[in-house]
Amino acid sequence: MLPNAKPLRELHGITPSDINDDLLTSTQPLVLRGLLSRWPAVQAGRQGAASADAYLRRFYRDATVGAMLGTRDIGGRFFYNEDLSGFNFASVRARLDDVLLEMEGHRDNPHPPAIYVGSTTVETALPGYREENPLDLGARDALMSVWIGNQTRIAAHYDLPDNLAVVTAGRRRFTLFPPQQLPNLYVGPIDFTPAGQPISLVDLHQPDLERFPRFIEAWRHALVAELEPGDAIFIPSMWWHHVEALEAFNVLVNYWWRQSPDYMDTPTNALMLSLLSIRDLPPEQRQVWQDIFRHYVFEPGEQTAGHIPPQSRRVLGPIGDDASRMLRAQLLRKLNR
């Protein structure tokens, strides 16, 4: 039996005008209680599922969305099948109003099928919603997405962007783990995932500690919070988070942005290429390449390229848009040999 997880740090009485760079560049997660309590979407959500549903329908304009559908047997947990050769749910494209109608039909069902609309761009599915529910994040070009479902569970995973998420209807429980807990979370395949990101194979409701004994250490670092309409949570880049929707109808919107230049690719591409080209080298060669990566990538300094004239450093110097295009073209030529 695992003890209760530690509570996430919370701020109370904070308003949107209090959001600043110190908060949005933090490396620690934070709950912002009541941050967006004045949003019309939140006001509708506080009146109940029917009101929140009707509010969303005001903005809907015939867009199709990606939905995940599971039988009642999965208990709302979207996951792999028994041998990890597939998944325990179906992915479909459907009209958002049809998905909302399906959820409405099961709203009073104590054991409904699992229905989930994840990571749908607000401007695409709900034009005008963002303007009626604004949040100023400064110069950040943040992507705003909406997540809708009934009582569902999304396994612990990380995201590359920083994330500010706001509950507008229902309730959600967030359980977070620091990035350093990767070895203790028993992560599944990284190239075959339920929704794009690698996930922990540990069921937080019933952790199998005989199969996953190191999870005990991960749990020592777990942080948990339950959010209601108007509450927000800031999740820094690469923090693992398990998300559980607790009501028959739940809506969350979030903002994603990266603290990196636009020309940068996702580091996941570098990881995949490293698995292809480095992991299976002899141990001595892997050690050499570990030192090379440290020298050029993880601990660059004066000793890396200080002896080369600045105008001749090429990729060892600052990489802008033009240099990134040339480098990407070179890599594609090599990969397509």
pTM: predicted TM-score of the whole model, two decimal places: 0.95
Three-state SS at 288: helix
pLDDT given for residue 54 in this prediction: 98
pLDDT band at 270 (very low <50, low <70, confident <90, very high): very high
Compute the average pLDDT of residues 40-64. 96
Concatenated DSSP letters of 151-198: S-EEEEE--SSEEEEEEEES-EEEEEE-GGGGGGS-B--SSS-SSSS-
The verdict on residue 238 lying in a domain is yes
The verdict on residue 100 lying in a domain is yes
Domain count for the chain: 2
Do 97 and 28 lie in one domain? The reply is: yes
The verdict on residue 109 lying in a domain is yes
Question: How far is C-alpha 78 from the chain's CA centre?
Answer: 15
Do 124 and 77 lie in one domain? The reply is: yes
Name the region of 85 (left: φ>0; alpha: ψ -120 to 50; beta: rest).
alpha
Do 105 and 168 lie in one domain? The reply is: yes
The pLDDT tens digits of the residues spanning 93-110 come to: 999 999 999 999 999 999
pLDDT band at 261 (very low <50, low <70, confident <90, very high): confident
Question: Rounded distance, CA 289 to CA 115, Å?
Answer: 46
Do 94 and 73 lie in one domain? The reply is: yes
Does residue 134 surpass a pLDDT of 90? Answer: yes
Q: Which domain holds residue 274?
A: 267-335
Is residue 256 within 8 A of residue 142, CB to CB? The reply is: yes
Do 275 and 252 lie in one domain? The reply is: no
pLDDT band at 322 (very low <50, low <70, confident <90, very high): confident
Question: Rounded distance, CA 337 to CA 108, Å?
Answer: 58
The pLDDT tens digits of the residues spanning 136-180 come to: 999 999 999 999 999 999 999 999 999 999 999 999 999 999 999
Do 159 and 240 lie in one domain? The reply is: yes
Strand partners, 148: 117, 251
The verdict on residue 250 lying in a domain is yes
Compute the average pLDDT of residues 182-198. 96
The verdict on residue 70 lying in a domain is yes
Q: Which of 35-39, 57-61, 260-264 has the lowest mean pLDDT?
A: 260-264
pLDDT given for residue 57 in this prediction: 96
Compute the average pLDDT of residues 121-135. 96
Do 89 and 232 lie in one domain? The reply is: yes
pLDDT given for residue 99 in this prediction: 97
The pLDDT tens digits of the residues spanning 276-315 come to: 999 999 999 999 999 999 999 999 999 999 999 999 999 8
Do 125 and 227 lie in one domain? The reply is: yes
pLDDT cut 90: percent of the chain above it: 89
Question: Rounded distance, CA 278 to CA 271, Å?
Answer: 10
The pLDDT tens digits of the residues spanning 231-243 come to: 999 999 999 999 9
Burial 163-179 (b: 16+ CB within 10 A, else e): bbbbbbbbebebbbbbe
pLDDT given for residue 263 in this prediction: 85
Tell me, what CATH number does 53's domain have?
A: 2.60.120.650
pLDDT band at 265 (very low <50, low <70, confident <90, very high): confident
Do 101 and 160 lie in one domain? The reply is: yes
pLDDT given for residue 260 in this prediction: 87
pLDDT given for residue 307 in this prediction: 96
The verdict on residue 226 lying in a domain is yes
Mean pLDDT rounded to a whole number for the chain: 95
Task: Tell me how many degrees the CA angle 180-182-186 measures, rounded to the nearest 5.
Answer: 155
pLDDT given for residue 331 in this prediction: 87
pLDDT given for residue 335 in this prediction: 85
Which residue, 230, 257, 284, sits at the end of a domain?
Answer: 257
The verdict on residue 262 lying in a domain is no
pLDDT given for residue 80 in this prediction: 98
Do 306 and 237 lie in one domain? The reply is: no
Does residue 258 surpass a pLDDT of 80? Answer: yes
Do 314 and 293 lie in one domain? The reply is: yes
pLDDT given for residue 337 in this prediction: 74
Does residue 76 surpass a pLDDT of 80? Answer: yes
The verdict on residue 1 lying in a domain is no
Compute the average pLDDT of residues 264-284. 94
Is residue 137 within 8 A of residue 225, CB to CB? The reply is: no
Which residue, 233, 257, 281, sits at the end of a domain?
Answer: 257
Do 129 and 276 lie in one domain? The reply is: no
pLDDT cut 70: percent of the chain above it: 100
